[in-house]
Chain A
Amino acid sequence: MSRVFNRRKLKFNQKNKEQQDDKLVPKPLYPNLDQNLEVLHFLYKDCSDMVFRSFVIADQTKAQLIYIKGMSNIEEMDSNVLTPLIQKADQQSINPKTLIEQRLSVAEVTRIESFDACIDQLSIGNPILLLEGNQQGFALGLAKWEKRGVEEPSGELVVRGPREGFTESAGVNTSLLRRKIRSPQLKMKTLKVGRYTQTTIMITYIEGLSDKTLIEEISQRIKRIDIDGILESGYIEELIQDNSYSPFPQVLVTERPDTAVSNLLEGRVVIIVDGTPFVLVAPTTFYSLFQSGEDYYHHFMISTATRWLRFLFLFISLLLPSFYIAIITYHQEMVPTTLLLTMVDSREAVPFPALVEALLMEITFEGLREAGLRLPKQVGAAVSIVGALVIGQAAVDAGLVSDPMVMVVALTGIASFTIPRYNIAIPFRMLRFPMMLLAGTFGLVGIMMGLLAILTHMSTLRSFGVPYLSPMAPMKGKDMKDTLIRAPLWKLNTRPHLTGEYNEYRQDSDQKTFRRQGR
């Protein structure tokens, strides 16, 4: 069966190749305006949002202005393009060069020579000016469409730190980065992906900090993507990550320019996808997913304590229910007597085994969480009240679950929200269920088996060549100062080493202020 499938795949690939080859030869514009218009009319047949405006430049040359409704700035076109061009000319002859130089008061003008370029420019909102008898057209940088302003990212709130977040527009996003990194070393490579969407994807890096082979690898992986459309950076993430079958995220996703910039400064690559405020950062390690931008804005002791708290709650969110199940069904002797007696009392009337009880509550909780996310805001409050009060209390009153279990589930729920990044919290939340099954069947041995399996899996992962668990495994002493602890800034002299060549020192040593000598 697989052979048949492979052959079909082969055929499919060949067909694709032909299509691509077709596209690869750019069709040049004709010198004749009517011929050009015919082609464009044919391409944009049944596109009611296309506007073709014909006019005559200074009573002499026929010209055509083409744009898409709602994507270009009409006022500017009126005042800076049409008005000066239609006016009668003082000079006798008009050649396109002088025309652009003397008449058009538009900042950005690009010459275009093919229909493909024509389509590209139109699709990003730039009007196109075609002239009779001229094999070149002009794309005017007058694109303007409705977009959301820069707002505080709702998914990554901070107490202290910049409140701006990326938006859906790639142009705005690059400007946010450029405003933070003024150096011309900040480079952006643009790629277009998606057969129909032609989404702009920008590979952003700092020259001299990022490894060249890494940038090469990332652009290779993005270039080989050939799908209908890219609607969100999640598409890219899923198509470029090293291990597609792992639940763990191998790319960091952020909405915050400051996080993106700090990663750029560590030599990582930021991938901006047009149409989404979420940018991707690669390569990423497990421990960097536990860092929040805020860690570097607060005092290092506090940040270190917060990090430890996060790791503690990570274990709670993964293990607490399974640990409770294992102990209450297999290892009663491990509980202090008084605690055991209390637990025995509360479990006495519960008809289910502890495993079923835990699964019941955990699934209910996950359901509530999901409902809370998707429901309209007006209903959300009602759901949380119903969920918290009614289900929790009623389940205990009805004798379906015991009090300690409600507490365990509540604590687990809170724990999974202390992890700063949503995408690393989800896999642990999901792995909790197999862990519970293991605990319910094998007790603590099962938990240990599960933990070992997870650990083994995690240590096989790589993100663009960087071991997922580094700098812990493999151990890199120098990079440890920003994993479990957040060392003071004046100690963070070296950049984390990712792959290949790297620019080791990020600051001059001796950044600590001098202690005053004597009095």
Chain B
Amino acid sequence: MRCTKVIYFIGIIFFLLTGCWDRKETNDLWVVTGVGLDQTKGGEVEVTVEIHSPSGNEGDGAGGEGNQAGGNKTILQTGKGVSIPKAIEDLDTKLPREILWSHTEAIVINKELAETGIREELDFFIRHPEPRLRSYVFISEGNAKDIMALLPPLERSSSEVLIELAKSEILMKVTLFDLMEMLKGESGASILPMIDILPPEEGKQPLETIAYINRSAILEHGRMIGTITDRLTRGVLWFRNEIKESTVTVKPEEADGLISMKLIKGRTELIPKIDGNQLKMTVKVETIDDVIQNKTNWDLKNMEKHKMLEKELAQKIEMRLTDTLEMVQKEMEVDIIDFGETFRQKHPDKWKSIKRDWKERFPSVEVTFEIKASVLRTGQGSIP
């Protein structure tokens, strides 16, 4: 009996003496939905947080526009400091509530800051327990603060626009985790989506617009060294076996118009080969497409025409891949297309010696393409 009493007593003590020390009521929190990182002229870091502003129930009583769906309910606040933690400390002094980082899903880094290196700055977000590794990382052309300040007409906030754009996977989608992997990867090269402000429509307020992804930034060892266009970005996606959405338009020589095809499935395989001192890479692409528009007089049901179309498609893809390779391998000399990783996986023993002068050897890798394109559905409706 005494033993049970003691157990009950200890149980009650657990309740009363510990209590709720890490309780955080939502009315004492600022929910941060996006972060912008800029570099000031003095070399300091400027952190801009986009905070969701809880509207409360004030509107309801007046009877009318209580919940303005799609309305812009964000507050911006900035803090400066020599490092991100310092800048956040500065930020905290300006905020009456505690910051909740766990819903920060967009991290926008200014181009100037990215050129000086992002590895050290992102270290904060990776170490901090609250921010998610699944948040998306972007590089902005202008100031990150300006992008956070946008008031998108439909979405709740500017960062939500960016998240949705990244999720659509038309161009690069890089999460903090992916970036981490790329930064510590064999080649040390990374690629990030680059955003810019879409010029507002006429008659709208200058801020009533969105940011959009139009290019990709190439980073080497965490330092930004250049950009590639959206067309080449898709080429990079092909190499990285990440292609999800793509529309290809071909103009066969014998035909009198264009045929557009939509990607259903695309798969890329990199097959490395070490031939003496020469590194070789075979890029094997398999793709299945659907015809979505036929402006020619071709009857695609005809097997011959069908074969020709498939050949055209393969050529088109190969052209794009060659262009990408030209840019990435020959001009920028940055291995963002996973060649190094593939060599390491296939020949781990030889890789150790290759790795030392990979930077020099990467441009000399001999690349051959093996593209197998098939058109699955040609459609019934447009028989000329």
Contacts and interface: CB of A to CB of B under 8 A. Distances in A.
Q: Say whether A associates with B.
A: yes
B31 A344 contact: yes
Contacts of A341: 31, 33, 52, 54, 103, 156
- Is chain A's interface secondary structure helix, strand, loop, or mixed overall? helix
Interface residues of B, number: 29
B20 A343 contact: no
Contacts of B18: 441-442
A348 interface: yes
B276 interface: no
B304 interface: no
A332 B29 contact: yes
A442 B14 CA distance: 10
Nearest to B61: A397
Contacts of A397: 60-61
B105 A349 contact: no
A347 B26 contact: yes
A399 interface: yes
Nearest to B132: A333
Given A341-B156, A343-B26, A441 B19 contact: yes
A353 B27 CA distance: 9
B229 interface: no
Contacts of A340: 31, 103
Contact of A337 (B24, B33, B57, B67): B33
Given A340-B31, A399-B57, A441-B15, A330 B26 contact: no
B100 A349 contact: no
Contacts of B27: 347-348, 350
B58 to A, nearest CB: 7
Given A328-B26, A332-B26, A441-B15, A345 B20 contact: no
Interface in B1-26: 15, 18-20, 22-26
B25 A354 contact: yes
B56 interface: yes
Contacts of B132: 333
A346 B26 CA distance: 10
A349 B58 contact: yes
A332 B24 contact: yes
Contacts of B57: 346, 348-349, 396, 399
A353 B56 CA distance: 15
A353 B29 CA distance: 13
Interface string B61-105: 100000100000000000000000000000000000000101101
Interface in A223-239: none
Nearest to B20: A441
B61 A329 contact: no
A442 B20 CA distance: 6
A440 interface: yes
Interface in A201-215: none
B293 interface: no
B102 A332 contact: yes
Contacts of B102: 332-333
Nearest to A396: B57
Contact of B67 (A332, A345, A349, A353): A345
A328 B23 CA distance: 9
Given A333-B102, A441-B18, A353 B52 contact: no
Interface string A397-410: 10100000000000
Nearest to B66: A345
Contacts of A354: 25-26
B55 interface: yes
A139 to B, nearest CB: 52
Contact of B52 (A328, A344, A396): A344
Given A344-B54, A348-B54, A353 B23 contact: yes
Nearest to A437: B15
Interface string A273-308: 000000000000000000000000000000000000
A440 B60 CA distance: 29
Interface in B133-187: 156
B129 to A, nearest CB: 9
B329 to A, nearest CB: 39
B130 interface: yes
Nearest to B16: A441
Interface in A174-198: none
Contacts of A437: 15
Contact of B23 (A329, A350, A399): A329
A344 B33 contact: no
Given A328-B26, A440-B20, A345 B31 contact: no
B29 A344 contact: yes
Which of B15, B26, B60, B156: most chain A CB closer than 10 A? B26
A329 B22 CA distance: 9
Interface string A427-456: 000000000010011100000000000000
Contacts of A344: 26, 29, 31, 52, 54
Contacts of A349: 56-58
A338 B159 CA distance: 12
Interface in B254-271: none
Interface in B108-134: 130, 132
A341 B155 CA distance: 13
Which of B19, B25, B58: most chain A CB closer than 10 A? B25
Interface string A80-110: 0000000000000000000000000000000
B56 A348 contact: yes
Interface of A: 328-330, 332-333, 337-338, 340-341, 343-350, 353-354, 396-397, 399, 437, 440-442
Interface of B: 15, 18-20, 22-27, 29, 31, 33, 52, 54-58, 60-61, 67, 100, 102-103, 105, 130, 132, 156
26 contacts: A328-B26, A329-B20, A329-B24, A330-B24, A332-B24, A332-B26, A332-B103, A333-B132, A337-B31, A337-B33, A338-B156, A341-B31, A341-B103, A341-B156, A344-B29, A344-B31, A346-B57, A348-B26, A348-B55, A349-B57, A397-B60, A397-B61, A437-B15, A440-B20, A440-B23, A442-B20
Given A341-B156, A349-B56, A349-B57, 17 more contacts: A329-B20, A330-B23, A332-B26, A332-B31, A332-B100, A333-B100, A340-B31, A340-B103, A343-B26, A344-B29, A346-B57, A348-B57, A397-B60, A440-B23, A441-B19, A441-B20, A442-B18
The 4 closest A-B pairs by CB, nearest first: A333-B102, A348-B56, A348-B54, A349-B56
